[in-house]
Chains A and B, each alone.
Chain A
Amino acid sequence: MNEMRNGASPIIRVRGLRKIFHVGEVDVPALRGVDLDVARGEFLAVVGPSGSGKSTLFHILGGLTPPTEGQVWIDGVELQSLTENQRTELRQRKIGFVFQKYNLLPTLTARDNIAIAQALAGGATPPPGFDELLKMLGIADKLDRRPSALSGGEQQRVAIARALVNQPAILLADEPTGNLDTANSNAVLSILRDLNKQKGQTILMITHNPEAAAFADRIVTMRDGQMHAA
């Protein structure tokens, strides 16, 4: 595993990233040479239309799929050199996901949804200050409810708590407000911004919504598998 030891280096570094999907006999390029640096503690929004390649970038940064070409470092670890199991371990330790559709396990309560993420990473007790985070998210009194008994905004806040329970280096959020009304969208985005400002959480958010992107420190745009500064 090739690690960059320089503490000042970006927490996410992407160089010459390409991803080609093979659809039947046709090669479909989703990423066509993406370069990106995200500083530690930065809140970055990646915006772009559907099919621009931002979700593919999200999946590669999250270690869910390997790139076809190029290099990605996450907190100093080069993804290209990792096996699938090592990428899974990286996800457990360094990456927290927030999805558009919340993706909570329907059979578990909010508390257990958070606990399962911790259990999969080998943890047993929530990190110090986690109760405070739950209060900040406004779900401390709703932890014994199942997802079906929570509103969309509450589910997304549970998903954020789940993403943060292992104290990841990076929070990756894919259209986190895509299924929410304006009030809940603003609440969730405010929470993400507060997490970034108060706790120094690095956040990379994918969105097609310019209003949501405005909550970030920096915005980059993707189009046709390439990245452009906003």
Chain B
Amino acid sequence: MINKLVLENLKHRWIRTFLSALVIGVQVMSILTLIGLSRGMLHDSAERAKGTGADIFLKPGTQGQFSLASGQLNAKFVNFIAKQPHVVQAVGVLSIPIEVTTTLSGVDIPEFSRLNGGFKYIEGGPPTAPNDLLSDEYWARQHHWHVGQTVTLLNHQWRLCGIIQGGMLSRLVVPLETLQQLTGNANPPRVSEILVKLDNPALTNQEVAYLNHLLKGELQAISIQDFVSQFNINNVPQLRVFIWIVVSLAIVVGFLVVFLSMYTAVIERTREIGILKALGAKPIKILDILVREAFVLAILGAVLGIGLSYVAKVIILNTAPASLPVVNVPDWWPIAAAIAVIGALLGAIFPGLKAARQDAIEALAYE
């Protein structure tokens, strides 16, 4: 019966209920979208790393896994690595950041093709001139690019020669030498990383150990599998901090929304609280009723937030499929709901206590 009272109260003031749930829902959506974006971007990067077909990934030894700094590796290492046992192909890649999450990669296209069979062209074909540029389908769609058009990147005019399937190396690919010259990495030629293909992938761990021993820290070798496994939110401290900030804000907003909603409800329902007290409701029961209302608001908000996160995903993927590859994160639904519930319950405590302490006679006299 108490649950019915709670639900009827929420139904009776449905506009306030809806607005409160909506604000909580927006917070839940923010959390889910942020996590979905973080995970989507990392997943996208991981997929593109896997899509290179390489078995081993080499970077300068002093560089962190996710550093976007470029040109720190002398290209002579590419040939040196290529001569090592079990290595069938070593390809140097120069990566230059274009946006926070997007890089322009310079690579020798024929060599790169030997790693993995080459790019899959949706439109156009491989570069035939130094200023030719490849874009993946998502970037091209996001920027409304078409094959043959001239585009400007790094203050340089490029001709879009082909649109490739996503999921391989980078969203934007140009001839290695052009990019080296353009970015001051031509003399001596420098690259950001080296992709290595082995004759037997089963020897990857053994080869990684061998290369790390051989290169004595000048370069760091890591298997692509290990490299990909590090594309995780927990390995990006700045992202973790950002997520905690958003989660904390969600709790604060949930608290404030429910606090205001419940506070006005308590004032508006003063007389009803007096009636319940006269009927024999103890203070703890009054608190219980308001806490249940807050809980239902939070759950409604969470459900609404999950729905909104799908809407946000559709909007984001239609607006910026390349820059913001958001994914669904159902494993975060209970966490986001719990965050909403925590904020709501915290927000219900003070109004609930105020209601519980209300004098029954004064409450009954309230007009």
Residues of A within 8 A of B (CB): 59, 62, 64-65, 84-85, 88-89, 91-92, 97, 99, 103-108, 112, 115-121, 162
Contacts and interface: CB of A to CB of B under 8 A. Distances in A.
Please report whether the interface of chain A is mostly helix, strand, loop or mixed according to DSSP. Answer: helix
B275 A108 contact: no
B276 interface: yes
Interface stretch (B1-9, B126-134, B157-165, B222-230): B1-9
A106 B273 CA distance: 12
Nearest to B9: A107
Contacts of B9: 107
A88 B277 CA distance: 8
B312 interface: no
A91 B280 contact: yes
Contacts of A112: 1, 4-5, 8
B213 interface: no
B279 A117 contact: yes
Q: Which interface residue of A91, A112, A120 has the most chain B CB atoms within 10 A?
A: A120
Contacts of A97: 278-279
Contacts of A115: 1
Contacts of B11: 107
B285 A120 contact: yes
Please report whether the interface of chain B is mostly helix, strand, loop or mixed according to DSSP. Answer: helix
Given A108-B4, A120-B279, A121-B280, 20 more contacts: A64-B278, A64-B360, A85-B282, A88-B281, A97-B279, A103-B271, A103-B274, A103-B364, A104-B275, A105-B5, A106-B12, A107-B5, A107-B8, A107-B11, A107-B12, A112-B4, A112-B5, A117-B280, A119-B2, A120-B276
Interface of B: 1-2, 4-5, 8-9, 11-12, 271-272, 274-283, 285, 359-361, 364
B275 A105 contact: yes
Contact of A92 (B2, B280, B283): B280
B303 to A, nearest CB: 22
Contacts of B8: 107-108, 112
Nearest to B276: A120
B361 A64 contact: yes
Given A107-B8, A107-B12, A108-B8, A65 B361 contact: yes
A208 B280 CA distance: 27
A116 B281 CA distance: 10
Contacts of B282: 85, 88
Nearest to A174: B364
CB-CB nearest 10 A-B residue pairs: A92-B280, A119-B1, A107-B8, A107-B12, A120-B280, A91-B280, A103-B275, A117-B279, A64-B360, A88-B282
Contacts of B285: 120
Nearest to A91: B280
Contact of A108 (B5, B277, B281): B5
Nearest to A166: B280
A120 B5 CA distance: 12
27 contacts: A59-B361, A64-B277, A84-B283, A88-B277, A88-B282, A89-B280, A91-B279, A91-B280, A92-B279, A97-B278, A99-B364, A103-B274, A103-B275, A103-B364, A105-B272, A106-B12, A106-B272, A107-B5, A107-B8, A107-B11, A112-B1, A112-B5, A116-B276, A117-B280, A120-B280, A120-B281, A162-B279
Contacts of A99: 278, 364
A62 B275 CA distance: 13
Contacts of B283: 84
B197 to A, nearest CB: 70
Contacts of B1: 112, 115-116, 118-119
Nearest to A165: B279
A92 B285 CA distance: 13
B74 to A, nearest CB: 76
A107 B273 CA distance: 13
A105 B359 CA distance: 18
A104 B5 CA distance: 12
